[in-house]
Amino acid sequence: MANCYIINTNKSFDSNCEPEMIHGKKCSAYYSPWKNDIDKIIVNDLVFLYSNEVGIIARGVASGIPEIKDFNGETDEEHYMELGMFKELAIPLKASQISGILNRNVVLNSAQKKLNYDDGLKIWQNITKNCL
């Protein structure tokens, strides 16, 4: 069964990560244990890229195929997945807005936040209506 993931763009630790995710139309995570979370995403999961202090800045649908590459000279430290139907948002969706859409407090203080598909669909539809 499909799920939804809100993936942090890692800009606080490396300013190159966010633009690389946008340009590459992918979600990524770096180093253990976070990188292994990308491997759990399956085909057709909804994925949102979240930029700290900005909000959701892009969305896509998971390919379901995790890839691995070197990161900053270290072997196999980036796990990533290509996102189909990728769209960068014209207007970011703030964390407070996400909580409002879902009628509950959503804390986005980790590399990856997993939500059920129905919640992801509500966010997706709100983005379609208000942010593209």
Question: Would you tell me how many other CB atoms lie within 10 Å of the CB of residue 121?
Answer: 14
Q: In this structure, what CATH number is given to the domain that contains residue 87?
A: 3.10.590.10
CB contact at 8 A, 79 and 38: yes
pLDDT in tens, 2-13: 999 999 999 999
Distance separating alpha carbons of residues 49 and 82, to the nearest angstrom: 12
3-state secondary structure (DSSP) of residue 124:
helix
Q: What is the pLDDT of residues 47-62, one digit of tens each?
A: 999 999 999 999 999 9
Cα R_g (the chain), whole angstroms: 14
Q: Which helix (H) or strand (E) holds 33?
A: none
Q: Which tokens is 118 given?
A: 């129905």
1 pLDDT band (50/70/90 cuts)? confident
Closest CA to 87 of 47, 53, 121: 47
Range of the domain at 32: 3-130
Whether residue 132 is predicted with pLDDT greater than 90 in this model: the reply is no
pLDDT by residue (tens digit) across 31-42? Answer: 999 999 999 999
Return the closest-CA partner of residue 115 out of 104, 128, 126, 127: 104
Residue 10: beta bridge partners? none
Q: Domain count of the chain?
A: 1
